[in-house]
């Protein structure tokens, strides 16, 4: 049994209420930080803990915090990114729904560290009931003196608010999130300036994922030294993984970073293997934007090492034979699935979600969707496969925000590892219309 | 029953709703009330029978003291807002990869046949609007759909039948 830092008390009845949460050790990190530490010391501790941002990009949280500009007399803002829309990812919802005070506690300590007196949780609009849970918990925290003026007599003031989106994946990108919170369309901004200098309402701003902010709680409670004892050298602590697709038991699991991928997929404590006793065909380990791995690269790396659930091991082999931990959206494909169909499905997602500002992304995602749709329906030709690679190259690196890349990479990876499956759709057009490649052909490893 | 489509479909807001809207505005610093627009649109959409007419959007512009175009821009960008009349109940079925792997296509087809409606359409009796949505953050519990604020997960045809019955019996909060 791995140690849990975030979900340890998740099954305690009524843990969503202040009193039960507090009885189970809640809000200790606020007392510790506000009474015994300076804001700089909190930042230092998070830096030492080597916490990597849990939203997908894995940028070190402490380092991000240290970039925050602090001009005299200008407010600073901490924004929690609860937009959670990356296909395969549903961990933040689970955390906020079940144990909302953990996020609130993390936001109080983090706001103190950054000097934010007004912080927001930006939550996707579809999670409206979760927003209500958060607001209820926030009201409790105000009533108990953990929010508002002069918290615990420390002289630190904090107001915490929740704001919903309206249905747009792109608002998870931090500058689009800021635009949306300003009441506008979610168009990402050109950087620089970075939010750390000019963010919400032109003021210095930090945007962090729900899980990153929640993780600040155990880091401050136990200290960075204890925290870094968990995990591997480069991937410290624990991570929430949301498992879905063709696994026996999908759901949100907290793992110690560094357990093996094999254990996670087949272990009793986790996914319990592939549903309906089928074989695994492919894995997208970190949300729809990361490269897909074929069966032979899932439990072992190309170098023959055990593949581990860590930032470095999942990326081992680069894009040629590796992938990324990303957001922890762990999508498993069984032998009956069609990679072309799924690649088309994801391409449609990105085409649908492109904000339309940059032509390579707006047009490119649409073309990829069309070409893939053609291939999937037996109307493609061999040149289409090269065309996809070409569109890919034209998008990559030529856009304002990373959504363009996020759309291009999965297509490139699918063709890299499953080219024969794409070609089969061209050479067997009638079969392609009739049914799934997987069902018709089975595994071809 | 037929849906009345009128342009003059500005909802009449109760004092309670107006107070709620003021509460939303007060969550932002002075001069930044435009930030409240998305949440206010959610509130008035619910009051206006599940969709936003130009008239309703104009009302939001007046409340926030901004130009109508600033509201239209937002309402047209975000997929949750309906710009045309909808049925009493909206089913938004997730169609994205992880849900597709566990059979969302079949669920969409089942609902289409059962209700005799295509994705994007509303049933002839005005009861149900069927839409698809991109990943709703419930991938491990798919296939799934959202109806009102609620998620219905691990869907099977039997569960869809139950949900439709519950709607028909008025056991679930309707748009109007
Ligand atoms: C298209 C796109 C969508 C994103 N969606 C999310 C999201 O839903 N949640 C999230 O935390 N980060 C998302 N991100 C990453 C954010 O831009 C940002 O890096 C992150 O919130 C920073 O938090 P972290 O450092 O704590 O991970 C997205 C990025 C892009 C480009
Ligand atoms: S890359 Fe796509 S989503 Fe990002 S800003 Fe450009 S058009 Fe918008
Ligand atoms: S893919 Fe359907 S909820 Fe995520």
What domains, with CATH codes, occur in chain B?
15-77 (1.10.10), 89-168 (3.40.30.10)
Q: At a CB cut-off of 8 Å and minimum separation 6, what does A246 contact?
A: A274, A275, A276, A278, A280, A332, A333, A334, A337, B101, B102
Residue A305 lies in domain = 238-334
Pair A196, A49 in one domain: yes
Domain annotation covers residue A376: yes
Listed residue (A118, A124, A139, A207) closest to B39, CA to CA: A124
Angle between helices A100-114 and A39-48 (to 10 degrees): 120
* Residue in chain A nearest B61 by alpha carbon: A183
Angle A169-A174-A178 (CA atoms, 0-180°, nearest 5)? 95
Is the CB–ligand 2 distance for residue A355 below 6 Å? Answer: yes
Tell me: ipTM over 0.90.
Answer: yes
Pair A289, A374 in one domain: no
Q: Are strands A205-209 and A76-82 parallel, antiparallel or unpaired?
A: parallel
Cβ–Cβ gap B27/A161 under 8 Å: yes
Tens-level pLDDT at each residue, chain A (445 residues): 578 999 999 999 999 999 999 999 999 999 999 999 999 999 999 999 999 999 999 999 999 999 999 999 999 999 999 999 999 999 999 999 999 999 999 999 999 999 999 999 999 999 999 999 999 999 999 999 999 999 999 999 999 999 999 999 999 999 999 999 999 999 999 999 999 999 999 999 999 999 999 999 999 999 999 999 999 999 999 999 999 999 999 999 999 999 999 999 999 999 999 999 999 999 999 999 999 999 999 999 999 999 999 999 999 999 999 999 999 999 999 999 999 999 999 999 999 999 999 999 999 999 999 999 999 999 999 999 999 988 989 998 899 999 999 999 999 999 999 999 999 999 999 888 887 776 666 444 3
Pair A159, A274 in one domain: no
Domain annotation covers residue A443: no
Is the CB–ligand 2 distance for residue A404 below 6 Å? Answer: yes
Into how many domains does chain A fold?
3
Pair A295, A354 in one domain: no
Residue where a domain terminates, one of A205, A228, A251: A228
Q: Which residues of B touch A (CB under 8 A)?
A: 27-29, 32, 34-39, 41-42, 70, 73-74, 77-81, 95-98, 100-102, 133-142, 146, 149-150
Pair A163, A72 in one domain: yes
A213 close to A110: Cβ distance less than 8 angstroms: yes
A440 close to A423: Cβ distance less than 8 angstroms: no
- For residue A196, the SS3 value is coil
Is the CB–ligand 2 distance for residue A415 below 6 Å? Answer: no
Pair A113, A145 in one domain: yes
Pair A147, A192 in one domain: yes
Please state the rounded mean pLDDT for residues B25-53: 97
* Residue in chain B nearest A337 by alpha carbon: B101
A126 touches chain B (CB under 8 A): yes
Residue where a domain terminates, one of A172, A202, A228: A228
List the beta bridge partners of residue A332.
Answer: A245, A283
């Amino acid at each position: 049994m791995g140690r849990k830092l975030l979900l340890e008390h998740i099954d305690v009845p009524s843990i969503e209420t202040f009193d039960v949460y507090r009885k189970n050790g809640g809000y200790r990190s606020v007392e510790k930080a506000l009474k015994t530490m300076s804001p700089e010391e909190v930042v230092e501790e998070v830096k030492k803990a080597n916490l990597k941002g849990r939203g997908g990009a894995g940028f070190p949280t402490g380092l991000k915090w240290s970039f925050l500009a602090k001009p005299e007399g200008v407010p600073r803002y901490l924004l929690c990114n609860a937009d959670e829309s990356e296909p395969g990812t549903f961990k933040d919802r689970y955390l906020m729904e079940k144990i909302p005070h953990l996020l609130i506690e993390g936001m109080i300590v983090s706001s103190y560290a950054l000097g934010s007196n007004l912080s927001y949780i930006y939550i996707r609009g579809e999670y409206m009931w979760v927003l209500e849970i958060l607001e209820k918990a926030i009201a409790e925290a105000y009533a108990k003196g953990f929010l508002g003026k002069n918290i615990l007599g420390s002289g630190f003031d904090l107001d915490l608010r929740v704001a919903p989106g309206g249905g747009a994946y792109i608002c998870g990108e931090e500058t689009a999130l800021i635009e949306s919170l300003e009441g506008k369309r979610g168009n990402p901004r050109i950087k620089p300036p970075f939010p750390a200098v000019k963010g919400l309402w032109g003021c210095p701003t930090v945007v962090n994922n729900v899980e990153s902010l929640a993780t600040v709680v155990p880091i401050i409670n136990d200290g960075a030294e204890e925290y870094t004892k968990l995990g591997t050298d480069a991937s410290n602590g624990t991570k929430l993984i949301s498992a879905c697709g063709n696994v026996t038991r999908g759901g949100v699991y907290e793992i110690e970073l560094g357990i093996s991928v094999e254990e996670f997929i087949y272990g009793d404590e986790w996914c319990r293997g592939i549903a309906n006793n089928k074989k695994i065909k492919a894995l997208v380990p970190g949300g729809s934007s990361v490269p897909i791995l074929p069966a032979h690269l899932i439990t072992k790396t190309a170098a023959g090492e055990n593949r581990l659930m860590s930032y470095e091991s999942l990326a081992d082999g680069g894009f040629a034979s590796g992938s990324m931990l990303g957001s922890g959206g762990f999508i498993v494909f069984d032998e009956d699935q069609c990679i072309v169909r799924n690649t088309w499905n994801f391409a449609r997602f990105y085409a649908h979600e492109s904000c339309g500002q940059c032509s390579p992304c707006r047009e490119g995602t649409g073309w990829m969707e069309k070409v893939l749709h053609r291939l999937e329906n037996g109307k493609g030709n061999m040149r289409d496969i090269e065309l996809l690679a070409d569109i890919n190259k034209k998008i990559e690196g030529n856009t304002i925000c990373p959504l363009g890349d996020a759309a291009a990479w999965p297509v490139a990876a699918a063709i890299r590892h499953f080219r024969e499956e794409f070609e089969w759709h061209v050479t067997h057009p009638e079969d392609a219309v009739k049914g799934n490649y997987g069902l018709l052909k089975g595994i071809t490893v | 029953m037929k849906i009345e489509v009128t342009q003059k479909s500005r909802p009449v807001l109760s004092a309670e709703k107006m107070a709620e809207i003021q509460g939303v505005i007060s969550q932002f610093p002075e001069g930044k009330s435009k930030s409240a627009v998305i949440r206010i649109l959610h509130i008035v959409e619910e009051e206006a029978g599940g969709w936003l007419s130009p008239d309703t959007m104009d009302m939001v512009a007046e409340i926030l003291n901004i130009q109508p175009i600033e509201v239209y821009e937002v309402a047209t960008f975000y997929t949750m807002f309906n710009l045309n009349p909808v049925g009493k109940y909206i089913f938004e079925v997730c169609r994205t990869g992880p849900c597709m792997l566990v059979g969302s296509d079949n669920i969409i087809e089942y609902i289409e046949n059962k209700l005799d409606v295509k994705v994007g359409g509303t049933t002839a009796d005005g009861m149900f609007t069927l839409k698809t949505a991109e990943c709703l953050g419930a991938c491990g519990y798919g296939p799934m759909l959202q109806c009102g604020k609620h998620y219905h997960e691990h869907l099977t045809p039997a569960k869809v039948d139950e949900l439709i019955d519950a709607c028909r019996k008025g056991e679930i909060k309707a748009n109007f």
